[in-house]
Amino acid sequence: MPQKGSIISAIFGGYRSALDLSQKRYTNLYTERAANAIAFYNDFLKNLIVKFDHFQEASLRRKIHSEVESFFGRDEIQFVAIDGTCKKDPFTDFMVFSSVAYGVRGEISLQGNPPTIKYKRRGMDEDISFVAYVPVPFAEIEDVANSERLEDFLVTDQDKVDLSNIQSTLMQLAEVYLAYEISRSTFSNGVRLILMDHSPSSILASVEVGTSKEKIGLLGYQVGQRKLEERDAIVVYAHPFNEELGLPSTKQFRMYNALVAEVVKQRIRTGRQLDMNDFAQRDAARKNITVDEWFDEWKVHYERNQPAINKLGKYDSQNRTFTPSFDYDYSWRDSVRLFEDICYQLFKKKEQEALIYETEDPDAPSRTRKRWMSPNDIKFLVSIGLRALIEECWDKRVMLLGIVKDSQSRYFTRNYYGVMCHTEVYESIDVKPLPWTDRIVLEDIAYTVPEITAPWSTTEFDSCFMTLHLDQVQGSNEIKPMGVRGDIVNQERLFARSLGQFFLRRRHDKASPLMGHVIFIDRLLHPHWDADLCKGITVTDKTDENDIGNIGIIQPFLHKDNTVDNPGQRIAMYFLDTLTRNLFPEAIGHPDPLHKADWGAKTVGRKVAQIIADSAIYFMANPLSKTLRSIRDTIKR
């Protein structure tokens, strides 16, 4: 009979052998793909790397300072960095969700050499942190759980807890509301730079949940003298509007969004007709197609989306006119008012009842019941707030930047490169398997290639490539949207994405350089800088002249290579390089204000967590029910 010790030894020995095997396989695979990344850089990618290590040159600084003063109207730029944290704490009868958004204020002064940074203490009337507590009874946990998975076979309360992730969406709402309030603030000089520890373009894509009552329970919510309807949600998703950038665009996905914007632009009131011929001529000229081809696209779109379009108004195909059935501008204002009112009550007045509303009881349609907002309801509020924030940034000339530290995405090396080769913007080359993510690809290149020095960045690419990629269909390459539906495409010409690095130090006595992470940067496009880079390229899934395609014609922002002048990116990189001081070893290569905002959010979050933990005494003293598990765990042996 084998000894007990020998069995344990065999278990540990087998585990070590498994680890050694996996590590060896991973090392070999990583080494091979890293070599492929260097080959890809030498053959192509070096033309898409933009070096900004010459920021110390006096002539370039003067140029940037002139561009900053021309756009912002000053050489002292007020900024706010925003970060957040969230948590969920289960008790016997309740689940407590908590979310925190924290802002750090400061100023970049371009008067000195180098530019100086000064952080500002907030005044008593300047609240730049928002906290929300939401204690939800388990009896109502279905309201805030993942509604699409409630049909799963859930056995225990813990299963329901695992589906309850409303706290992260609530954190997004807090951060967006804080940024929105700051963009509208009346602080002296006003904030001109907002940094968010999120990707706004990713948030914008992730919070679109549809427009039906089944998806958004808030439809029916009382706003002023009326109730919100499905048609109001359609108008929300049509925003933001920017005529100079051609937003919203007329691609096949929600082509009617542009119709909503045209009605608002021409101030056509309810019951008045819009002559679509003039609208079609201008858009056809932009797309380089005929008016008849434009109306062919519209016909297909109308047939696909007739229920939604009929909620907006009446289209007369014979006379080519459209008659709106309500005032779109008032509808948008009501939706923004809904966002402002709920967020004001929740984050400023600390009234958790702001997240409770009255709706039909699904078990008894003749009655009503009060319910908690679902994740989809919160996402709808985030959709409104982010769109309102974007329009405020355009109106107030505020630069909005999103920074993401880590991501598993491959939008740059897979989606963007593949589609651009297919449209013949770039020449196709033989690309062998690359490392698993864009970040790892670029960090491998920066680690190995000595001529790359920080700060540097990739050329910017349109955020629509998050949902566009090249796919093989029956042996041929076709441009396809990602996802289940196959027609949803992020709004083009809205955000530009890039990857950059702000700390990379090479020493002669060291074989390996010291370097920070490559980070992801989202920049809100602005017509003052980017209008010319939003023209001249067309992406489409049309296979021939008679084909309309699922996505139609898309004209994205294009920063083709490092020879193209891009003042918007140059100023954004200058600000980020100035704000990256590399003072904290745990955040090397990361903008200091965002690191301070992270500290602030986590400090507030710890205080919130302690308050919630202390509240357990109250729940234990007043139990409504106890499970066998909770009774057993409280008995000490």
- Kindly state whether residue 207 falls inside one of the protein's structural domains: no
How confident is the prediction for the chain on average, in pLDDT? 87
CA-closest candidate to residue 354, choices 367, 368, 363, 344:
344
pLDDT of the residue at 155: 44
pLDDT of the residue at 94: 75
- Asked if pLDDT for residue 151 goes beyond 50, the answer is no
- Kindly state whether residue 575 falls inside one of the protein's structural domains: yes
- Kindly state whether residue 621 falls inside one of the protein's structural domains: no
* More confident position, 479 or 402: 402
Task: Give the residue carrying structure tokens 């139609």.
Answer: 552
Structural domains in the chain (count): 1
- Asked if pLDDT for residue 405 goes beyond 90, the answer is no
- Kindly state whether residue 107 falls inside one of the protein's structural domains: no
Q: Which residues constitute the domain of residue 525?
A: 46-56+416-582
Q: Are 69 and 477 in contact (CB under 8 A)?
A: no
Task: Give the residue carrying structure tokens 């909005």.
Answer: 400
- Kindly state whether residue 332 falls inside one of the protein's structural domains: no
- Kindly state whether residue 204 falls inside one of the protein's structural domains: no
Give bridge partners of residue 558 from the DSSP assignment.
461
- Cα gap 432→406, rounded to integer Å: 24
- Kindly state whether residue 606 falls inside one of the protein's structural domains: no
* More confident position, 423 or 154: 423
**Which CA distances in Å does 509 have to 228, 296, 505, 506, 512?**
67, 67, 12, 9, 9
Confidence at 154, pLDDT banded by 50, 70, 90: very low
Task: Give the residue carrying structure tokens 């958790």.
Answer: 352
pLDDT of the residue at 485: 54
Confidence at 551, pLDDT banded by 50, 70, 90: confident
pTM above 0.85, yes or no: yes
Q: Which amino acid is at 380?
A: F
- Cα gap 88→406, rounded to integer Å: 23
- Cα gap 212→309, rounded to integer Å: 13
Q: Mean pLDDT check: name the lowest of 270-279, 370-379, 436-445.
A: 370-379
Q: Are 200 and 400 in contact (CB under 8 A)?
A: yes
* More confident position, 91 or 24: 24
- Asked if pLDDT for residue 625 goes beyond 70, the answer is no
Instruction: Give the 3-state DSSP-derived string for 270-334, with helices as H, strands as E and coil as C.
Output: CCCCEEHHHHHHHHHHHHCCCHHHHHHHHHHHHHHHHHHHHHHEEEECCCCEEEECCCHHHHHHH
